[in-house]
Chains A and B, each alone.
Chain A
Amino acid sequence: MAYEEVKVQTPLYLKILPVLSICAFFGSWEFIVKTGIVPSTMLAAPSEVIKLFIVKLTDPNPDGAVLSQHAWISLKEAGIGYLLSLLVGLPLGLTMGWFTTVRGLFRPVFELIRPIPPIAWIPLCIFWFGIGLWGKVFIIWIAGIVPCVINAWVGVGMTNPTLIQMARTYGASDWQIFTKICVPSALPMVFGALQIALAYCWTNLVGAELLAADQGLGFLISMGRRLALPQMVVLGMVTVGIGGAVIGVLIDAVEKRLLAGIRR
């Protein structure tokens, strides 16, 4: 069908319900904590979290840093690890898709590393790098590299074979076919990888910081637990969630702009 019949205006109740549902969610959360149905040692009311948020903007106690510093550390680790994984993963995946030799050399190692959850590297990282920045960057790098390689590889594999044969009849070399045909064909999948890898990096960052850190949002969460301050735990979780959402939206926007040229 060339013509789409567009539904006439969404009914009003469908617009109100989401708002109501969000309000009900926060309302009942506040309610069950304030009335003591859930003890305040287990969960903090939203109002408590907001209060702590304002305090944490300026007060480094009791965990040693203000909120923005924690967030900055986390962002830095995630950013470096993410960029490094793109830098290594995408070229590796692309070449693995096209050159048999590269595939032959790297596939066994890759297949070995692939099923290991990045979190499992933490003990080795602590051995190798201590609990500083680079240990976490390594975990995030491992986390990001797997989706990068897989997507780039699959992307190259999805190249239209007719295009490759066409290029061969014109006498293009393997390298020319790779750069001129395979890489552009793989681009949509590569952009997909950017997003998946980022989400993956962000998840594993929290894991890495929970276990081995002295700063960062994950550390904030685990300090909240050790100090039995649920509002601090929730604050950390919310900040991480917001961070993830913001990054997701950013990548979405970038991807849309970049892909606009490809998808017409």
Chain B
Amino acid sequence: MDTQSVANEVIKSTREKQAFSIIALIRNEYFLYLVSSAAFVLLWHWVAKEQILGKSLATPYDVVKELGRLMTIKLAGKNLFGHAWASTQRILIGFSLAAVVAIPLGLFMALNRTVNAIVKPVFDLFKPMPPIAWISIAILWFGIGEPSKVFIIVIGTFVPCLLNSYNGIRLIEPELYDVIRSLGGNRRHEILQVSFPAAFPAIFAGLQISLSIAWTCVLAAELVSARSGLGWIIVQGMKLTKPELVIGGMLIIALVAWLTTLLVSGLERVLCPWKRHIEGL
């Protein structure tokens, strides 16, 4: 996230013109990144080695070794990629199901007052309920198989998808509709040419939020009950008291979650090339 103010940039560029000096190096952001990353790993190593937190922390080296081991051996019939894919697959299914229903519904609610009056109150009932609270119900309904996990993800991602497409339309400048009307367009044109495209960036913002919620949901579901997936790996680590497995699992989760986020923003860049300058953030 590059959000330095212009004033900061000015300072930076004048600094670069100065001759090389130790102080400038120490204050250089990227150099500091390097230093702090190294310090973090070293500190972690030291804490784990000296067993300051007892045996509950593994050294970075152990974690890497464990990850290497997981690449080749199979846990419950799947190697690391298999488990990562199991989690990702659940997210993709649940996420697409929710998006396919919630986005059109949100658009519909924003465009039609009657639909809004019927759906909004019920939706508002469900909105403040954390998706994780649904896990128990999901297990009661669907057992501990795939459907219950997908269900949780659908529930969790439904709310931001719907809210964002709803608000995306409601925040459109009304004068844009005037343009269409004065060019001779009718209500259908207003919706197709203005409402939908203008709501697009908001919908994508909703997808991004949904995605991070989806990861939380899938992990929670897998922690409660699963036979595969990254959450299951962590649970295994906990049950076997193998912190290296737990931390390795967490790192892989971070990696995969980050990759899926990249995927959505890449998709957005392709699908709405005009958006880059609107947000500016």
What residues of chain A have their CB less than 8 Å away from a CB belonging to chain B? 13-14, 17-22, 25, 41-43, 97, 100-101, 103-109, 112-124, 126-128, 150, 153-154, 156-159, 161, 164-165, 168, 202-207, 210-211, 218, 221-222, 224-225, 228, 230, 233-234, 236-237, 240-242, 244-245, 248
Contacts and interface: CB of A to CB of B under 8 A. Distances in A.
Looking at chain B's contact residues, the main secondary structure is: helix
Contacts of A156: 5
B105 interface: no
A117 B139 contact: no
A120 B249 contact: yes
A109 B117 contact: no
A100 B31 CA distance: 11
A230 B137 CA distance: 7
Given A18-B121, A154-B281, A100 B32 contact: yes
A224 B140 CA distance: 10
A161 B36 contact: no
A104 B35 contact: yes
A221 B35 contact: no
Contacts of B7: 159, 161, 164-165, 168
Contacts of A117: 212, 215-216, 219, 253, 257
Contacts of A124: 56, 243, 246-247, 250
B266 to A, nearest CB: 16
Contacts of B27: 100-101
Contacts of B237: 123
B224 interface: yes
Nearest to A232: B136
A105 B35 contact: yes
Interface string B202-223: 0000000000100110011001
A163 to B, nearest CB: 9
Contacts of B21: none
A17 B118 contact: yes
Contacts of B134: 237
6 contacts: A14-B113, A20-B118, A25-B122, A117-B257, A122-B234, A154-B1
B119 interface: yes
Contacts of A104: 28-33, 35-36
Contact of B133 (A112, A121, A165, A240): A240
Nearest to A117: B216
A42 B141 contact: yes
Interface residues of B, number: 72
B140 A118 contact: no
Given A13-B117, A42-B140, A117-B257, 5 more contacts: A108-B37, A124-B250, A128-B56, A221-B136, A233-B140
A180 B126 CA distance: 42
B36 A248 contact: no
B132 interface: yes
B6 interface: yes
A113 B36 CA distance: 14
B254 A115 contact: yes
B169 interface: no
Looking at A116, A154, A248, the one whose CB has the most chain B CB atoms below 10 A away is A116
Given A100-B29, A241-B133, A248-B128, A127 B3 contact: no
Contacts of B29: 100, 103-104
A105 B30 CA distance: 10
Given A18-B120, A22-B121, A161 B258 contact: no
Contacts of B57: 127
B137 A237 contact: yes
B35 A210 contact: no
Q: Which 6 A-B pairs have the closest CB atoms?
A: A104-B32, A157-B3, A127-B56, A244-B128, A123-B238, A17-B117
A104 to B, nearest CB: 2
Contacts of B215: 115, 117
B238 A126 contact: yes
Interface string B1-36: 101111110100000000000000001111111011
B3 A206 contact: no
Contacts of B125: 22, 25, 241
Taking each of B33, B117, B119, which has the highest tally of chain A beta carbons within 10 Å of its own beta carbon? B117
A210 B5 contact: no
A73 B122 CA distance: 29
Interface string B225-253: 00000010011011001010011011001
A211 B223 contact: yes
Contacts of B281: 154, 157-158
A229 to B, nearest CB: 10
A70 to B, nearest CB: 13
A107 B235 CA distance: 29
